[in-house]
Structure 1
Amino acid sequence: MLDYDALYALNEVVRYGGFDRGAQALSLTQSAVSQKIKRLEQNVGGPVIVRTKPLKPTPLGRELLAHFQKVSVLEEALNIESGLQESASPITVAVNNDVLATWFSLVLAKFSETRRNPVHVYNADQTQTREKLQQGGVMACISQTGTPVTGGQSIRLGTMYYQLYASPAFIARYISGSPSPEKVMKSPGLLYDEYDVTLLSDYQQTCFNLAPSFSSCHWYPSSHGFVKMAVDGVAWALLPTLQVVDEVKKGELVSLFPQQALGLPLFWHWTSIDSGALSDLTRAVKLIAKQQLKDVV
């Protein structure tokens, strides 16, 4: 039988990225936590942690953590039904930067009206979140891929639209006359990180039939900083239309090509376990997405 006390220790060590912080969360010494992990590895017959900085679970460790999360949620439901205690197990989800910067806080606000479960949000690109769910690292995610994972369900939430924006000062400085795609792509632009290359490539190819080009782009890994860089006239940026409504109204940003928008479909994925809290979170996601996401720009 699995040692669930040791599994809990593994969960906290991985969550906080190290033995020191994991031990603090457990109110134990680092030595005691290390012994629990070592005993767990002996029981399951292999390593459960890659001892890097930050610590990462091995494939076996990921399987154990996925099992532990499911057991925790099922135990919560049993405790509530039996009246033993009011438990509030964390719900783990993976969400991409742009959703976090625009409407996911509304989801948490709605969820918190009826539930006190902590929601642990892991930030990942929309092309990577589903893999995190498939590996058992989270219980739900928002992804651009609709196919459900094994043992899970999915639903289409709507479409998030992106347009190319720049400040009036940037346009005056770098773009004389009417902006053309070729002219704009040769001026300074912005990328969030290496995964953002895919989104910008899709925009260039879908909207302009241009080969991907990033040689003039700055890299700036901050969603809110992205908007600030564009407003300050440093570069143009491909941004969610939802994120810059106020900046456009104030005239701080201008859509360079108002008729050209890239639509990114978004899907909510969740594991098929009997959890009232996860069901309530799913309802909150559906409700807020229906309010925020449109089928047209």
Structure 2
Amino acid sequence: MLDYSGLHCLSEVVRYGSFERGAQALNLTQSAVSQKIKRLEHKVHGPVLVRAKPLKATDLGAQLLAHYQKVCVLEEQLAGHTGLAEEVSALSVAVNNDVLATWFSEVMAQFTAEKSNPVHIYNADQSQTRSLLQQGKVMACISQTGLAVAGGQSVRLGTMDYQLYASPAFIEQHLSQGINPETVNRSPGLIYDEYDVALLSDYQQQCMNVAPSINNCHWYPSSHGFVQMAVSGAVWALLPALQVKAQTAAGQLVNLFPGKQLSVPLFWHWFDLESAALTALTQAVKQVSKYQLSR
């Protein structure tokens, strides 16, 4: 039998990144929390924490925390059925940057109007989120892959459409000789991070009919900053059409290749748990994505 008191302590010190702040949240002494985690490590025959700043879970610790999250959700549901005192549990979700920057705030607004469960969002590329679900680090995710994980379900939400944008000032400075794949690839572009390389490469191959090239790209890992860099005239950028409706309407950004778009399918994955909160979150995701994403 696992030591759930120790798992609760582990969850809090990882959440807050230190024994001191975790102990404060638990209303225990730092020494008591440390002893509980040591007993847990003795029970599971291995370290559960990387004792650095901030504290992080080991692989074993992450597996235990994933199990603990599911147990908390199931206990919440059981409390609802039996009339026991109910304590809401957090839902952990992995969502990519572009969805967070566009429509997931509407999901949160709809969900929080109905449920009081905290939602802990892990920011990860849509090509990586399903792995976090598979590992048990989250209970649900938005992914570009449709195959459901073991013990879970998935549903297709729609597609996120990406187009290549630049400001009028950028076009005047860098593309005055004509807008074509060759002149664009020779001018300064933008990439979010290493995972964004695949997205841009797909656009270049499928929409520009050229070999992928990122030699002239800056790297700028900020969704808001990504748009601002393009508006400022510093770069061209591959952006979700949803995210820049206002900028294109105002003439701040121009679609460099009208009619050419990369459509990335998005799927909602969730573990098949008897959780009213997870069901409510799933319903909110389905409803909001229905009018935000292309079909």
TM-score relative to the length of structure 2: 0.96
Match of 2:36 in 1: 36
Match of 1:48 in 2: 48
Give 1:33 shift: 2.1
The correspondence of residues 185-224 of structure 1 with structure 2, limited to 5 A, is: 185-224=185-224
Match of 2:156 in 1: 156
SS at match of 1:35: helix
SS at match of 2:207: helix
The correspondence of residues 82-231 of structure 1 with structure 2, limited to 5 A, is: 82-231=82-231
Q: What is the aligned-residue identity percentage? A: 66
SS at match of 1:208: coil
Match of 2:234 in 1: 234
1:185-206 deviation digits (Å, cap 9, x = unpaired):
1111111111111111111111
Give 1:22 shift: 2.6
SS at match of 2:268: strand
Q: Residues of 2 paired with 1:233 and 1:57: CA distance? A: 43
Q: Residues of 1 paired with 2:210 and 2:20: CA distance? A: 50
Would the aligned equivalents of 1:80 and 1:87 in 2 still touch at CA under 8 Å?
A: no
Q: Residues of 2 paired with 1:108 and 1:145: CA distance? A: 23
- Give the aligned residue type for 2:207: C
RMSD: 1.3
Match of 1:19 in 2: 19
Q: Residues of 1 paired with 2:218 and 2:186: CA distance? A: 12
Give 1:26 shift: 2.3
- Give the aligned residue type for 1:101: A
Q: After TM superposition, where is structure 1 displaced by more than 4 Å over at least 4 residues in a row? A: none
Q: Does the alignment pair 1:260 with 2:282?
A: no
SS at match of 1:160: strand
1:131-184 deviation digits (Å, cap 9, x = unpaired):
111111110000001111111111111000000000101110110143011111
Q: Residues of 2 paired with 1:107 and 1:165: CA distance? A: 27
- Give the aligned residue type for 1:17: G
Structure 2: any 5+ residue segments left out of the alignment? none
Q: Residues of 2 paired with 1:164 and 1:241: CA distance? A: 9
Structure 1: any 5+ residue segments left out of the alignment? none
Would the aligned equivalents of 1:143 and 1:266 in 2 still touch at CA under 8 Å?
A: yes
Q: Residues of 2 paired with 1:235 and 1:41: CA distance? A: 51
Match of 2:278 in 1: 278
Q: Residues of 2 paired with 1:62 and 1:42: CA distance? A: 16
